[in-house]
Amino acid sequence: MNHIAPPPDRKCLIVQPIHAAGLDRLLAHGITPVLCPDADMETVARHVPGCVAAITRDAGFDARAFDAADRLRVLVVHGAGHDPVDKAAAASAGVLIANTPGTNAQSVAELAVGLALAVARRIPAADRSQRAGQLGFRERAAFTELSGGTALVIGWGATGRRTGAILHHGFGMRVLSHSPRPPEESWASHAPDLHGALARVELVSLHAPLTPATQSLMDRAAFAAMKPGAILVNLGRADLIDEAALQAALAAGHLGGAGLDLSTAAGPRGPLADFDTVVFTPHLGGTTTAALARTAEAAAGHVITALAGEMPATAINPSVWQGRSGCRP
C-alpha cells in the first residue's frame, strides 16, 4: 500500500507487533508507526520519547515508560484487558487510555468452547496416546458430552455473552451468568450466588476482568463448591484462579479437568502439568487472523480519534481527557 510520507512528529509507538491493517490505517492518517524492538519496559522507555501515541498488548505500560514519555497523549490497549497498564502513572502523566473490547470476542469464545471440548473428549491426551502407539486409550479414559448440561459463564462482557450464545444455541446447554448485572438475553439466567451456581453446572467458563474482587475468585472454597466432574476453562486472566487450589481439586479427583488459555508462567511446567486432564494454550484466545486485523484497526482508530481532539468511545480514564483541552499534539 502506497502512502504519502507523514510528518515525522506524529509518531505512535507499537509496543508489541500488531496486524498490518492497523499500521496501514495509522499511515493513511499521517501517523508514523514506530516498532519497539522489545516489549520489556526498559526498552519501551528508551523508544517512547517523541511519540504522541502508543499501542500496547499484554505487555502493558508501566510507570517507567510513562515517566519517559515526553509527548505521549494517548495509550491504546490492543484488546480488552488493561490491568498491566499503570493507571496512576497514566493519570500523573495526563495520558488518556482506551481499549478495544469486543473486537476479538468471537475468536476468544470459539477457543473457550474448543478448550471445553478438548477437556471433555480428552483430545490432547488421545493424540499423545495415538502418536506413542499406545492401545486402549478409549477404554481407559472417560468422556463427556456438553449437550444437555448447564454452563456457568463468569463475566458477561462481549466474550462471555458470545461464549454463552455458542453453548446455548450450538449445544443446547442451559446458561447461567455470574456478573454484576443480569443478562439481557432471554436464554441466560442471572446467578449472583457464585458457590450456589458452581454446584449446579457441568462447565465453568471464566471471562471476568482481573479486579481486587476477582483475584483468586476460583479458590479452594469455590472448587469445593463445584459439581463433581465439572470442567473449568479460563479465557479471562491467570490470577482469577488459585492454581494450588486447582491442583488440589484435580488431585482429589473432584474436577473433570481444566482448559487454561491463561495460567501463571509456572503452570505448564509445574504440578498442573502432571494431569492429562489439563490442557494449556499460550493465550491464543484473540489470535485468529480475522480478530487480529479487527483489533489492530480498532486500536489505530482510537489513536486517530484522540489525536484529532476527540475522546475515543472506550476511554477508561475520561477524567484525564477532561483535565486538559484535548489530545491534539
The pLDDT assigned to 325 comes to 47
CA distance 127 to 110: 21
Which phi and psi angles does 255 have, rounded to 5°? -100, 150
The pLDDT assigned to 108 comes to 97
**Which residues lie closer than 8 Å to 24 by C-beta, 6 or more apart?**
1, 3
- pLDDT-based confidence at 197, cuts 50/70/90? very high
Is it the case that residue 23 has pLDDT exceeding 90?
A: yes
Tell me what the mean pLDDT of segment 120-128 comes to.
97
Tell me what the mean pLDDT of segment 130-159 comes to.
95
The pLDDT assigned to 326 comes to 45
CA distance 320 to 302: 16
Is it the case that residue 329 has pLDDT exceeding 70?
A: no
Is it the case that residue 1 has pLDDT exceeding 80?
A: no
Is it the case that residue 321 has pLDDT exceeding 90?
A: no
The pLDDT assigned to 110 comes to 98
pLDDT digits (tens, 9 = 90+) for 263-272: 999 999 999 9
Tell me what the mean pLDDT of segment 232-248 comes to.
97
CA distance 290 to 169: 23
Which phi and psi angles does 239 have, rounded to 5°? -80, 5
Q: Over the range 236-251, which residues count as b (16 or more CB within 10 Å of their CB) and which as e?
A: bbbbbbbbebbbbbbe
Rg (CA), the chain: 22
The pLDDT assigned to 324 comes to 57
Is it the case that residue 53 has pLDDT exceeding 70?
A: yes
Is it the case that residue 31 has pLDDT exceeding 50?
A: yes
pLDDT digits (tens, 9 = 90+) for 284-310: 999 999 999 999 999 999 999 999 999
Architecture of domain 11-103+288-322: 3-Layer(aba) Sandwich (3.40)
CA distance 156 to 302: 24
Extended strands (E) in 18-73: 32-35, 53-56
Is it the case that residue 2 has pLDDT exceeding 50?
A: no
Tell me what the mean pLDDT of segment 112-134 comes to.
97
Taken in order 285, 287, 293, 297, is the CA torsion positive or negative? positive
Is it the case that residue 223 has pLDDT exceeding 90?
A: yes
pLDDT, greater one: 254 or 329: 254
Domain residue spans of the chain: 11-103+288-322, 105-280
CA distances 48 to 61, 62, 68, 91, 236, Å, are 11, 12, 7, 17, 29
Domain 105-280 fold is Rossmann fold (3.40.50)
Give me the DSSP letters along 145-172: --TT-EEEEE--SHHHHHHHHIIIIIH-
Is it the case that residue 81 has pLDDT exceeding 90?
A: no
Q: State the chain's mean pLDDT as an integer.
A: 94
> Which grid cell sits at 186?
432471554
Give percent of the chain with pLDDT exceeding 90: 93
pLDDT digits (tens, 9 = 90+) for 5-16: 444 579 999 999
